[in-house]
Structure 1
Amino acid sequence: MNHRRDHEDEDIERVARDARRALGIEFTLKPDMITAVFKAKYLGFLKGYVRIPDADMPDDLAAFDPETGILSLQESTFTAANEVLGNPPGRKRARFTIAHEFGHVFLGHKKTRHRNISGRKIEKIAAPIVRDERDADRFAAAFLAPSYLVENPLLVSDRDMADKFDISQTASSIRLDVLQRIYRRTHGIPRPIPESIYEFLTDAAKRGAKVTSLEAENKRRIAEAKARGKGK
């Protein structure tokens, strides 16, 4: 049985930055992902890549085979990622898909994993697959929106992130939550409690109850307000 420890946030950040550095795009805001594929092949991280007609790869956007070292890309994924003059539908997903497959490469996953459309049942219930796919998604987010290129994540919005790094609004929102969590941990700012619970505790305090967790939350809010003021 595999008891591998899940990667910590900092592990993923480090591997993603090392990958960017190796590919020569450490400080590039919006790297061209097809060029990144070429570089990965040239540097030996990939043995090669193939473009597969959509009809022959109907359920999968891409796949990496660690035994052969071959990256397979659905033709529409390649085409969308390769479009640099405009912002066609599917481009952001295509960029994330390739970064996701890089996650399998640079995290050293041993089995072929597919970034798919259909949501096959086995990929929802098999623990090793779920874990590897989750980690590859985390890598992709860290690769496309590096923490070291965001000075203070408490001062930016998910829209800012999406525009800055050419990622989707959904990916940006998830990524910003991670960056804020890392920032709070690094600066000793406790995790916030949900607003609904804060309001409940505030109401209880007004009725005379001594709520120590509210006191701690108020101190946290003061500390975070100071952090948000940095760089202004």
Structure 2
Amino acid sequence: MNYGCYKNARNASWCCLIDYKIDKLPVKVSSIVHKSEIILLKNSNVNLLKDEESGTTLMQKGKLYIVYSDKQSVRRCRFTIAHELGHIFLGHMFQADGNGFVTTDAAEHSANVFARDLLAPACVLHELQILTAAEISMLCNISLEAATYRANRMQELEKRNAFYKHPLEREVVKQFIEFINKKKSQSQVEL
């Protein structure tokens, strides 16, 4: 994925956190969906997904629907919904019939970056020094697989001290500061 696409996905996740006034973890993706007037559907109720599909977004009569495979774990479902939000907020192209997005590797990767950065914002994890996959999984309520990708990226960011260079990231930290301070004081008490 080229760096421009990566930055767009990352920045869109920060804008989403800011615009929807998310200030604690785990992020409630269903709240973002409802505030966006998107209809969230369990596949067990509509049976639209193929066996190997985790989720899709449909547009019917100008209305957006996210369908997700509710047979998967809650943590996996949360990532799937965030991934579909990524497609929507990044403005990816719908197929001509409105049944899902045009699938490209770049679009899928950028939706994954959006979902990862929305559910596990690096700047918040950095402030809390939550850096292992297990810790990230617990705090952010994401799968260990998704948390492992985030933990690997966190190692790279920590090595480069690549934080707070963008004004949106600084705004996200400011928005989460009460949560961060509360978590820090809780961990000190637990000692």
TM-score for both structures, normalised by structure 2: 0.67
Which residue in the other structure is 2:57 paired with? 64
- 1: distance between equivalents of 2:86 and 2:94? 13
Deviations 1:23-60 (A, max 9, x none): 221x220122222210121xxxx4x4555535333343
| Structure 1 equivalent of residue 169 of structure 2 | none
**Aligned mates of 1:18, 1:147 — CA distance in 2:** 14
Query: Bigger radius of gyration, 1 or 2?
Result: 1
**Further displaced range: 169-178 or 56-65:** 56-65
Q: Secondary structure at 1:151's aligned position in 2? A: helix
Unaligned runs of 5+ in 1: 81-88, 116-122, 188-232
Confirm or deny that 1:21 pairs with 2:15: no
1:157 — aligned with what?
A: 132
How many residue pairs get aligned? The number is 157
Structure 1 residue 168 and structure 2 residue 140: aligned?
no
Consecutive unaligned residues of structure 2, counting only runs of 5 or more, are 163-191
User: Structure 2 CA distance, aligned partners of 1:111 and 1:34?
Assistant: 22
Q: Tell me the distance in 2 between the aligned counterparts of 1:167 and 1:32.
A: 12
Runs of 4+ in 1 over 6 A off after TM superposition: none
Question: Does the aligned pair in 2 maintain the 1:101–1:136 contact within 8 Å?
Answer: yes
For the residue of structure 2 that corresponds to 1:20, the secondary structure is helix
Distance 2:79 2:66 in 1: 15
Residue 92 in structure 1 maps to residue 67 in structure 2: no
Q: Give 1:140's aligned residue.
A: 115
Cα pair 1:65 1:71 within 8 Å, conserved: yes
Q: Does 1:73 align with 2:67?
A: yes
Which residue pairs with 2:176 in the alignment? none
Percent of pairs identical after alignment? 21
Deviations 1:177-207 (A, max 9, x none): 12222333345xxxxxxxxxxxxxxxxxxxx
Post-superposition offset of 1:10: 4.0
- One-letter amino acid matched to 1:144: L
Computed over aligned residues only, the root mean square deviation of the Cα atoms, in angstroms, reads 3.2
Aligned residue for 2:94?
Answer: 111
Aligned residue in 1 for 2:31:
35
Residue 218 of structure 1 aligns with which residue? none
